[in-house]
Amino acid sequence: MTKTEELAEIDRRGTEAYERCVAPRLRPEDKGKFVAVDIETGEFELDIDDYEAIERMHQRRPGANLWLMRVGHSTAYRISGMVNERN
């Protein structure tokens, strides 16, 4: 399996675990929080701070394959920048 295929598989499994285990338990006030999901078990930690969610999940499940999502967003992070135009 190539690295790209491996990453796609992690994303697929993370999305599936999120939809199955996390989404049904979310409340409106959770929007914008980070959720770290163990793709093997569906266990998760939710926090406004991404590092805290990941750290607590690693403490509970050392070595777990984690997938990070931001509640109410299509991705955990957004990277943007300005394009410099030259005359």
Strand, coil or helix: what is 30? helix
User: Is the separation of the CB atoms in 48 and 32 below 8 Å?
Assistant: yes
The count of structural domains within the chain is 1
CA distance 53 to 56: 5
CA distance 5 to 2: 5
Residue among 14, 19, 9, 12 nearest 66 (CA):
14
Tens-digit pLDDT profile for residues 34-71 = 999 999 999 999 999 999 999 999 999 999 999 999 99
Range of the structural domain that residue 28 is part of: 3-70
In a domain, 38, yes or no: yes
Report residue 82's pLDDT band, with 50, 70 and 90 as the boundaries: low
In a domain, 87, yes or no: no
In a domain, 42, yes or no: yes
Residues in the chain: 87
In a domain, 84, yes or no: no
According to DSSP, the residues that pair with 33 across neighbouring strands are: none
